[in-house]
């Protein structure tokens, strides 16, 4: 984490600060500096990913799991909050005043997570998406989101992505920060591509991890409701609540869902860019058990 002129800067590359998150997207320096004062609860569930890797998808699955689990009793009552790093210091009061179980999304690296999430052994779920599709999705997000720097050309964006000079820094550094704790029984790692192939399998895996009792029929129902197509259509129908979003970068849900496909990177990467990307990522990815299982097809 770097600080400059009251502006929060996520990630760095070779000692240089990454692009910044500034006040007009409501991420305050004061809140980030105060993260370790955050009061976590033992039953908090943290939903984590690098940006454009499936946090909203995971959040929708979680909401539906707890909804099916509730059956009108308090064990299933949960609140999906806005992103942990979204807002100002009043955010902590807002979360403190919630009486229900809290599902808290974030794009923060492990080292920036409030310490109480770790000491209280809170459940954490981390979604990994292949970095090539992530880069393409983030490129479009930069183009459409007025709160982020304007990068018109794909080639220009790829350069800063490879340097880790995008919001939240380097993809591989983010993954590595969480991988250090992969043996923690309170952490579940999911792969975006695998979820696309067999969502019911992973809905069942999540429910087991969280000790949520749901039937096979309910798992199939949740999987259908949480398909990318269904979520995109729902986002386009809903009115945007600018005071609540699971994303720290925008309050417009319509910017969140684009294609959601696996392998779209092949429509953007030239052969030269692909070789360049592999050269930059190869050494670190080969040293990472989590990253080595990423699927590109």
Q: Report the pLDDT value the prediction gives residue 162, as an integer from 0 to 100.
A: 94
Mean pLDDT by 10 residues, the chain (297 residues): 37 36 56 92 96 90 83 65 88 91 95 95 96 94 83 94 92 94 94 93 96 93 80 55 50 50 89 94 82 80
Catalytic residue status for 56: no
Reported pTM: 0.84
58 CB burial (10 A radius; 0-12, 13-18, 19+): buried
CA distance 274 to 50: 21
* Cα–Cα separations (whole angstroms), residue 3 to 19, 22, 37, 71, 148: 12, 11, 18, 47, 18
Q: Report the pLDDT value the prediction gives residue 239, as an integer from 0 to 100.
A: 54
Q: How many residues comprise the chain?
A: 297
Q: Report the pLDDT value the prediction gives residue 169, as an integer from 0 to 100.
A: 92
Q: Report the pLDDT value the prediction gives residue 293, as an integer from 0 to 100.
A: 86
CA distance 152 to 157: 8
CB 10, CB 168: distance < 8 Å: yes
**Cross-strand partners of 102:** 79
Extents of the domains making up the chain: 40-293
Catalytic member of 56, 69, 107, 174:
107
CB 189, CB 182: distance < 8 Å: yes
Give me the CATH code for the 40-293 domain, please.
3.40.50.300
The 187-191 sheet, strands edge to edge: 78-80, 101-106, 45-49, 123-128, 187-191
Q: Report the pLDDT value the prediction gives residue 76, as an integer from 0 to 100.
A: 54
Residue 294 tokens read as: 């990423």
Q: Report the pLDDT value the prediction gives residue 237, as an integer from 0 to 100.
A: 53
DSSP letters, 26-56, are: TB-HHHHHTGGG----TT-EEEEESTTSSHH
């Amino acid at each position: 984490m770097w600080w400059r002129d009251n502006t929060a800067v996520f990630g760095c590359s070779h000692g240089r600060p990454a692009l910044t998150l500034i006040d007009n997207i409501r991420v305050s320096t004061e809140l980030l500096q105060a993260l370790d004062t955050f009061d976590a609860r033992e039953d908090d569930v943290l939903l984590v990913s690098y940006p454009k890797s499936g946090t909203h998808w995971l959040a929708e699955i979680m909401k539906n799991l707890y909804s099916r689990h509730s059956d009108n009793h308090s064990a299933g009552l949960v609140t999906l909050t806005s992103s942990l790093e979204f807002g100002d210091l009043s955010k902590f009061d807002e979360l403190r005043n919630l009486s229900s179980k809290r599902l808290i999304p974030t794009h923060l690296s492990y080292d920036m997570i409030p310490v109480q999430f770790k000491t209280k052994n809170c459940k954490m779920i981390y979604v990994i998406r292949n970095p090539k599709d992530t880069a393409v999705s983030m490129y479009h997000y930069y183009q459409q989101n007025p709160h982020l720097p304007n990068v018109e050309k794909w080639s220009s964006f790829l350069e800063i992505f490879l340097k880790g000079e995008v919001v939240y820094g380097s993809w591989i550094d983010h993954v590595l920060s969480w991988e250090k704790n992969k043996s923690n029984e309170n952490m579940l790692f999911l792969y975006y591509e695998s979820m696309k192939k067999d969502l019911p399998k992973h809905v069942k895996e999540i429910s087991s991890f969280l000790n949520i009792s749901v039937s096979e029929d309910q798992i199939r129902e949740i999987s259908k409701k949480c398909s990318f197509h269904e979520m995109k259509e729902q986002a386009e129908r809903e009115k945007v609540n600018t005071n609540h979003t699971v994303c720290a970068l925008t309050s417009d849900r319509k910017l969140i869902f684009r294609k959601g496909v696996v392998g779209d990177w092949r429509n953007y990467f030239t052969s030269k860019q692909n070789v360049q990307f592999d050269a930059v990522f190869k050494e670190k990815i080969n040293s990472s058990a989590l990253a080595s299982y990423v699927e590109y097809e």
